[in-house]
Amino acid sequence: MATYTDPFDIYNKAARTRQRVTEQNAIRDQLAALSGGGARAYESLTRNYQQGMEPRTAGFAKRGLGNSGIFQRAMQEYAANQQRSLGDVARSQQEGLQDLNAQEANSANDYKDYMDALAMKKQQEISQAAGELQDWSPFTGLYS
C-alpha cells in the first residue's frame, strides 16, 4: 500500500521553516541593533567626556586652582563618573547579548524538538508500511 502524505504535514513543514527563518532574522536584527547602539553610546560618552573636560579645567584655571588638590579630586570624580557610565553601557550590552543567546538557544531547541517529532513520525510510517507488507506476504511470498 502506498503511504498517504497529509497535506497539512507539508504545510506545517513550510510554516515551521518560515518561522525558523523569521526567528533567525529577528535575532540578527537585534544583534545588529545591540552592537550599533552600544557603539553609539560609547562614542557619545567619550565625546561628552572630552567636551566636558575642557570647561572644567578652564574653570579651575581661571580661579588659579589648576594644580590644586581640589582640581585633582574634581577630575578624579569626573573620570570615575565616566567609568561608571561606560560600565553601565557595557553591562547593558552584556545583558542584551545574554538575552539574544537565550533566545537563540530556545529557537534551536524548538527546531530540534520539531525535527525529532518528524523523525518519530517517519519511523512510525515505516513501521506501519512494514506491517502492511506483512499482511500481503501470503500473496507475495515475502517474509516466508
Q: What is the pTM of this model?
A: 0.50
pLDDT higher than 60, residue 55: yes
Q: Is 144 exposed, middle or buried (0-12, 13-18, 19+ CB in 10 A)?
A: exposed
Report residue 123's pLDDT band, with 50, 70 and 90 as the boundaries: very high
Q: If you write DSSP's letter for every residue of 30-41 in order, what string do you get?
A: HHHHHHHHHHHH
- Distance separating alpha carbons of residues 122 and 125, to the nearest angstrom: 5
Q: pLDDT per residue over 128-137, tens digit each?
A: 988 888 888 7
Residue with cell 521553516: 17
Domain ranges of the chain: 7-111
Report residue 31's pLDDT band, with 50, 70 and 90 as the boundaries: low
The larger pLDDT score, comparing residue 96 to residue 143, is at 96
